[in-house]
């Protein structure tokens, strides 16, 4: 399929990136001043890309729908950021990080991209420390690490349970420095509604000023989309309320291929749903699995008694508990990758062993960690023969120092004290590995349109390992995109400013205005949320943690019907020439109603189980995922052709020259 050129450089894996960088065309500093770049989204990827591009000398315009770049949802990432520093001396290396990531992604990512990611991971930590990001440290003053799911080394750098916040504020600070210098023009409370192509190249965007409702034209020589993932397709997720697929979807409709839409991460440790009123789900960092042990009752009658509130978990004896991850996966235990842990929880709950009212929860228990840490603390504090109460008190303090803010967050939401009774958790939609198809340079199939961070598909295959999202966002933004984009922009040094009076801008603006008018003129029967919740139910029930051909086909038909109903009957109050949150939501849900259909089609096409994509028809007798490398060792890149169900599949064959494909085993 010649249409997809991944542009992976030739040569040995370890030299590809260095050689490639050495041969990238450079833009002379005087010319950079005449080149404009638009960056949409100001999370880790967008913020770091904008700052670096501005430092290099380009004129950058940033756009975010939030009231400040600092509020992008990268801020909510808790656990940490991976880097192959090997500070712990536990045998880590660039190769191991590369290997773990490819294996964790169930062999559906590109070797060359992942290797580059592992290579630049070490620069991220140097960069962030120099910026003043306050990572956790040991008493000796050096950086501390912890371990995460799917790996056997400690390579995760963290700042309590707020690593994303600290990294994002670092990127925000770097942006602020450039805003002050006049090199970045920041547009907040703005939403990109379309991308403008001139002569087939991305040359600008149409944006709506969310305060005034004004539709604005912005031009540039290249457009970078760093707009995050599309998990809000499921209505309930750990995403922020405003997260949407609008920018990526508009680019898709203008010619950018959408890759692997069905690869979604369902995170095992989230706070369970409490009722119909629920608007979002809250993640409990995966780092908790370092110390928490996951279990359900061994006997169905105990599970039933717990569900009915007649039995407390703390009353259940050790031998009556089923630590099912430790039982099924002795080598990795509670630290299996996310997809494996999520499916195992679903399996136990479907079998009736769930531990809350709805039967959709499992325990995450810190009791043994508290006692273990307590005994260690007693020893180092010189307390001889401490009683259990003292050990527990000491242990609780250690656990509080490690996870205090997470425990507090849990208690506020669930109204139970996790130091005294096990936490309840259940899987929830958390991240999307799929996204815009990009080549090695992070360019989409539209020339001049780039995608970075979660918005692209490139590094995580079918399942992302913990603490790799922050790594990828910052790698793309600080260390990859600002250089690869130069190759493209070097051809634009004589172009001059792009005029927003071009007919292409006129046409795109008209298109956007017509769409808004259409959204405002529905018959007014149901609210936007009504449709969003219905879509979410279809997605969760038929395209969620396990999928089958029959239900995926049903999902395709149901979503198409729901979309038609939406456009006919949606109710958007107020006017378009003012701040109007319902109109903002309506535009986003309209896109989800299209993407959902493509998502189901992608899942239906992929007749194998890999990573987060589990097809019930393709599993081993033990219920593990059954990959089909012979027929499905490719990236699905979808080309838009009108209705989502008519999208055309292009396959990028994945080539593994350095890693032998194996059945993923965490046993």
Partner 1 sequence: MKLNLKIWRQKNADTKGEMVSYPLNGIEEDMSFLEMLDVLNEQLINKGEEPVEFDHDCREGICGTCSLMINGRAHGPDTRITACQLHMRSFNDGDEIVIEPWRAKAFPVVKDLIVDRSAFDRIQQAGGYISINTSGNPVDANAIPIEKDMADKAFNAATCIGCGACVAACKNASAMLFTSAKVSQFALLPQGQVEAAERVQNMVRQMDLEGFGNCTNTGACEVECPKGISLENIARMNREYLSASVKG
Q: Among candidates 70, 73, 441, which has minimal Cα distance to 222?
A: 441
CB 151 within 8 A of CB 100: yes
Q: Residue 426 is inside which H or E element, if any?
A: strand 423-432
Binding flags for partner 1, 370-399, as an x/- string (CB under 8 A): ------------------------------
Q: Give yes or no for residue 64 binding partner 1 (CB under 8 A).
A: no
Q: Residue 56 is inside which H or E element, if any?
A: helix 44-56
Q: Closer to partner 1 at the Cβ: 426 or 478?
A: 478
Q: Choose one: 9-17, 125-133, 294-302, 592-600; the region binding partner 1 (CB under 8 A).
A: 125-133
Q: Give yes or no for residue 358 binding partner 1 (CB under 8 A).
A: no
CB 203 within 8 A of CB 504: yes
Q: Closer to partner 1 at the Cβ: 240 or 305?
A: 240
In the region spanning residues 541 to 600, those forming contacts with partner 1, defined by CB under 8 A, are 571, 573-574, 578-579, 581-582
Non-local CB neighbours of 263 within 8 Å, separated by 6+ positions? 108, 432, 433, 434, 457, 460, 461, 462, 463, 611, 612, 613
Q: How far is the CB of 121 from partner 1 (least distance, A)?
A: 12
Q: Give yes or no for residue 90 binding partner 1 (CB under 8 A).
A: no
Binding flags for partner 1, 409-438, as an x/- string (CB under 8 A): x--xx-x-----------------------
Binding flags for partner 1, 477-496, as an x/- string (CB under 8 A): -x---x--------------
Can 338 be counted among the known catalytic residues? Answer: yes
Catalytic residue among 289, 338, 392, 547: 338
Q: How far is the CB of 13 from partner 1 (least distance, A)?
A: 22
With CB under 8 A as the contact rule, the residue among 14, 26, 152, 211 that binds partner 1 is 211
Q: At what angle do helices 549-569 and 528-542 cross, to 10 degrees?
A: 180
Q: Choose one: 199-207, 215-223, 273-281, 312-320; the region binding partner 1 (CB under 8 A).
A: 273-281
Q: Give yes or no for residue 274 binding partner 1 (CB under 8 A).
A: yes
Q: How many residues sit in the footprint of partner 1 (CB under 8 A)?
A: 80
3-state secondary structure 386-409: CCHHHHHHHHHHHHHHHHHHHHHH
Q: Closer to partner 1 at the Cβ: 279 or 380?
A: 279
CB 572 within 8 A of CB 586: yes
CA angle 70, 72, 76 (to 5 degrees): 100
Q: How far is the CB of 182 from partner 1 (least distance, A)?
A: 11
- Cα 234 from Cα 539, distance rounded (Å): 6
Q: Give yes or no for residue 26 binding partner 1 (CB under 8 A).
A: no
Q: Closer to partner 1 at the Cβ: 211 or 561?
A: 211
In the region spanning residues 32 to 51, those forming contacts with partner 1, defined by CB under 8 A, are 48, 51
Q: Give yes or no for residue 179 binding partner 1 (CB under 8 A).
A: yes
Q: Closer to partner 1 at the Cβ: 110 or 402?
A: 402
Sheet holding 264-270, edge to edge: 264-270, 423-432, 362-365, 293-297, 321-322
Q: Give yes or no for residue 172 binding partner 1 (CB under 8 A).
A: yes
- Residue 191, strand partner residues: 208
- Cα 114 from Cα 131, distance rounded (Å): 25
Distances in Å between the Cα of 667 and the Cα atoms of 126, 151, 330, 600 are 35, 13, 6, 31
CB 279 within 8 A of CB 585: no
Q: How far is the CB of 178 from partner 1 (least distance, A)?
A: 9
Instruction: Please give the positions annotated as active site.
Output: 338
């Amino acid at each position: 399929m010649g249409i997809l050129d991944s542009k992976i450089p030739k040569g040995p894996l370890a030299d590809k990136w260095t050689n490639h960088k050495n041969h990238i065309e450079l833009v002379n500093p005087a010319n950079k001043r005449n080149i404009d770049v638009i960056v949409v989204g100001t999370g880790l990827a967008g913020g770091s890309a904008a700052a670096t591009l501005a430092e290099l000398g380009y004129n950058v315009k940033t756009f975010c729908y939030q009231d400040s770049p600092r509020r992008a949802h990268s801020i909510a990432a808790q656990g940490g950021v991976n880097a192959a520093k090997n500070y712990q001396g536990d045998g880590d290396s660039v190769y191991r990080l590369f290997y773990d990531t490819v294996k964790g992604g169930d062999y559906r990512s590109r070797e060359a991209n992942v290797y580059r990611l592992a290579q630049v991971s070490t620069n991220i930590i140097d960069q962030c420390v120099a910026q003043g990001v306050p990572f956790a440290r040991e008493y000796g003053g050096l950086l501390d690490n912890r371990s995460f799911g799917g790996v056997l080394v400690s390579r995760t750098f963290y700042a309590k349970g707020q690593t994303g916040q600290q990294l994002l504020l670092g990127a925000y600070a770097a942006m602020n420095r450039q805003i002050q210098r006049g090199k970045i023009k920041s547009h907040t409370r703005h939403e990109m509604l379309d991308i403008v192509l001139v002569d087939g190249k991305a040359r600008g965007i149409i944006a709506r000023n969310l305060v005034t409702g004004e539709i604005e034209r912005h031009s540039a020589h290249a457009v970078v989309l760093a707009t995050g993932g599309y998990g809000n397709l499921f209505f309930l997720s750990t995403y922020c309320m405003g997260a949407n697929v609008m920018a990526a979807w508009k680019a898709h409709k203008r010619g950018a291929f959408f890759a692997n839409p069905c690869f979604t991460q369902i995170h095992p440790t989230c706070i369970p749903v409490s009722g119909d009123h629920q608007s979002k789900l809250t993640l409990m960092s995966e780092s908790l699995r370092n110390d928490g042990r996951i279990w359900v009752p061994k006997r169905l009658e105990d599970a039933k008694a717990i569900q009915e509130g007649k039995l407390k978990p703390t009353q259940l004896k050790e031998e009556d508990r089923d630590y099912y991850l430790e039982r099924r996966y002795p080598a990795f235990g509670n630290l299996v990758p996310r997809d494996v842990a999520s499916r195992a929880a679903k399996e136990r709950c479907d079998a009736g062993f769930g531990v809350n009212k709805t039967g959709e929860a499992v325990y995450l228990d810190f009791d043994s960690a508290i006692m273990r840490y307590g005994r260690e603390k007693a020893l180092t504090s010189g307390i001889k023969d401490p009683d259990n109460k003292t050990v527990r008190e000491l242990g609780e303090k250690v656990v509080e120092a490690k996870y205090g803010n997470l425990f507090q967050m849990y208690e506020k939401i669930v109204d139970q004290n996790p130091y005294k009774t096990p936490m309840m958790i259940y899987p929830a939609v958390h991240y999307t590995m799929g996204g815009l198809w990009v080549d090695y340079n992070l360019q989409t199939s539209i020339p001049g349109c780039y995608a970075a961070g979660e918005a692209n598909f490139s590094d995580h295959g079918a399942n992302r390992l913990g603490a790799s999202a922050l790594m990828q966002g910052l790698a793309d933004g600080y260390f990859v995109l600002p250089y690869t984009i130069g190759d493209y922009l070097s051809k634009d040094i004589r172009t001059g400013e792009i005029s927003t009076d071009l007919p292409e801008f006129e046409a795109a603006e008209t298109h956007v205005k017509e769409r808004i008018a259409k959204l405002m003129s529905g018959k007014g029967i149901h609210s936007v949320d009504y449709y969003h919740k219905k879509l979410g139910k279809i997605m969760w029930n038929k395209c969620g943690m396990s999928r089958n051909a029959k239900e995926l086909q049903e999902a395709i038909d149901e979503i198409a019907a729901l979309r038609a109903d939406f456009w006919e009957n949606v109710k958007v109050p107020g006017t378009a020439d003012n701040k109007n949150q319902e109109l903002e939501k309506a535009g986003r849900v309209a896109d989800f109603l299209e993407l959902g259909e493509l998502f189901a089609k992608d899942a239906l096409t992929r007749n194998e189980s890999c990573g987060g994509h589990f097809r019930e028809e393709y599993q081993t007798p033990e219920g593990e995922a059954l990959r089909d490398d012979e027929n499905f060792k490719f990236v699905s890149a979808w080309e838009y052709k009108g209705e989502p169900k008519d999208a055309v599949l292009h396959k990028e064959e994945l080539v593994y020259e350095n890693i032998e494909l194996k059945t993923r085993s965490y046993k």
